[in-house]
Amino acid sequence: MITLHGIPNCDTVKKARAWLDANGRPYQFHDFKKLGVPEAGIAAWIAAHGWETVLNRKGTAWRALDEATRAGVTDAASAAALMRAHPSLVKRPVVAWSDGRTTVGFDAADWAQRR
């Protein structure tokens, strides 16, 4: 089973969910706002993709942080702690595919190759 992690009102998550639905790919949705960021998940995502990829530094949530908080993110541990405290800082969507691999972000061409 595919698990799509994200926030329901995120435009990229909406596109990803629409793509999965249109392509007949059943999935479970893990809502960061309601369920939080899974502790084991965030560690695995960072290990697989690097904290720089998993931490969304382009969104409004990042820009809303004060400069000291942003400057305090210097490694995987500090990034993970901040993402747990502010789920909107996780780049979305994070997808756990049925083969055990994960992806960060939405890429329709890449997703079409996955089974």
Structure tokens at 20: 């999965």
* Number of helices (H), then strands (E), in the chain: 8, 4
Q: Report domain extents, the chain.
A: 2-112
On the 0-12 / 13-18 / 19+ scale of CB atoms within 10 A, 6 is buried
Output the tens digit of pLDDT for each of the chain's 115 residues. Answer: 999 999 999 999 999 999 999 999 999 999 999 999 988 899 999 999 999 999 999 999 999 999 999 999 999 999 999 999 999 999 999 999 999 999 999 999 999 998 6
Q: Classify domain 2-112 by CATH number.
A: 3.40.30.10
List residues bridging with 102 in a β-sheet.
Answer: 96
Active site residues: 10
Give pTM, 2 decimals: 0.91
- Beta strands 102-104 and 2-6: pairing type? unpaired
